[in-house]
Structure 1
């Protein structure tokens, strides 16, 4: 019996179009759901064979190859990566970061430093459902939770919008990767076909997610078709490279990293 391909995925709505069709291969694919920050360690320890990982972790590691043509990105507002602040943004002195997302934490530091010229004290935050209890001026919230937190009473920054306004480029939050030395025949086609099949089923996915998250089907469909993008094209690669340059300049990633694509 052929060995199953073990694939690590995030549990958020934004990844559902990428993995929806993978559920149709229970005999050959095993899915493991985890928050973004934990998947790189699982891949490093060979607990999984491929994973959606935070883009910052790709540059920090140096051991992965990117699956071509696929990513989780945004062009302007993303809706699901937001800073909620009790004080005007320019007055932020302390910020609590959602520790489940490495890329969004790095993006927060880049946006606050480069665009707002701020270097607040950062702490970690993991009580996603009640940001009012955070002992900080501002809180970073990601994923499905960010879409459910009310803006009322807070100054907010949509980090996808802030990045686009600052750079004019899309922002890439996560990419599919495998280890550079791994050989998984057909993995590129498998994941690309899954993405294309998921996008064909996006209206069904929006209905499913609206029931799970208690959001309207219209909002979920808008999010999956407009806020989030899934093609890793030339502009997305430019955005990824720009993110790396800013991250490296702030000491958030080592120098000398390059984008390498998987060829199987």
Structure 2
């Protein structure tokens, strides 16, 4: 039985929307949760495969294999990872920022952006539940991700300085940022290669089908669950990059380089272990 981690955010919906869960249930079980919990479950061996935070792969890269051509990335604005600030980002040095406890990649991306690109070295960070009003009671800014961030931006767009971390990363690096990767525990790949091949095929076909129809049906479903309108959600999905090509890999490796230099990763990540499905091996890129 393959245990599949499923992130409870709309940004991964294209991969899951059209998959045949009943067919996959013959050899798989879905485990939905927020990214931070899925990261821990994968590290503890409670999940075999799934979309996890890119930072979590960096921490455990020796134990994981990446599925090819699947990711959640952006080249510019990501649309669901925002810093909400009472003051301009240039003036945050020496201030206090509340971080959502739901993420791993985004909090380290924010710290890297503020330290390396703005020279802010004296910020006080507090990690807490992603409740916007509570986060800003005693802090100058807060970081939210996923649907929490989208909802807050709808409400606060005229009241706060709002910074999209994907846009800020691209502005300074001219590289895409990969926020989530699809990773497999090595043991699971050894034990269930056929089931994982089928899962990869279904994820890829679901994303391709959603993209081919302009995310129209998916957007209508998301409106029912999260509000907004179809035009917003279609534009949101079109703006994301769901492939894991050379440029996405380059951007991710640069993120890992900076994370290591800043002390957020204990070891360097100079290469990515990517499964070559046709050859039943994984390659080093």
Alignment check: 8 A CA contact 1:59 1:254 kept: no
From 2, 5, 8, the equivalent of 1:5 is 2
Alignment check: 8 A CA contact 1:78 1:158 kept: yes
Q: Distance in 2 between matches of 1:155 and 1:31?
A: 38
Q: Distance in 2 between matches of 1:229 and 1:128?
A: 28
Alignment check: 8 A CA contact 1:180 1:262 kept: no
Alignment check: 8 A CA contact 1:83 1:138 kept: yes
CA RMSD of aligned residues (A): 1.7
From 216, 219, 226, the equivalent of 2:232 is 219
Structure-to-structure mapping, 1:192-203, within 5 angstroms: 192-201=201-210, 202-203=215-216
Q: So what's the TM-score if we normalise by structure 2?
A: 0.86
Post-superposition shift, 1:28?
3.0
Alignment check: 8 A CA contact 1:72 1:230 kept: yes
Q: So what's the TM-score if we normalise by structure 1?
A: 0.92
**1:206 and 2:219 equivalent?**
yes
Structure-to-structure mapping, 1:28-177, within 5 angstroms: 28-62=27-61, 63-92=63-92, 93-119=95-121, 120-130=123-133, 133-149=136-152, 150-177=156-183
Q: Distance in 1 between matches of 2:130 and 2:202?
A: 36
| Residue 140 to residue 190, structure 1, CA distance change in 2 (3 Å) | same
- Unpaired runs of 5+ residues, structure 2, are 281-285
- Unpaired runs of 5+ residues, structure 1, are none
**1:18 and 2:15 equivalent?**
yes
Alignment check: 8 A CA contact 2:256 2:268 kept: no
**1:238 and 2:246 equivalent?**
no
Alignment check: 8 A CA contact 1:19 1:195 kept: no
| Residue 37 to residue 22, structure 1, CA distance change in 2 (3 Å) | farther
Post-superposition shift, 1:188?
4.1
Q: Distance in 2 between matches of 1:168 and 1:133?
A: 31
Count of aligned residue pairs for this structure pair: 260
Post-superposition shift, 1:22?
4.8
| Residue 261 to residue 102, structure 1, CA distance change in 2 (3 Å) | same
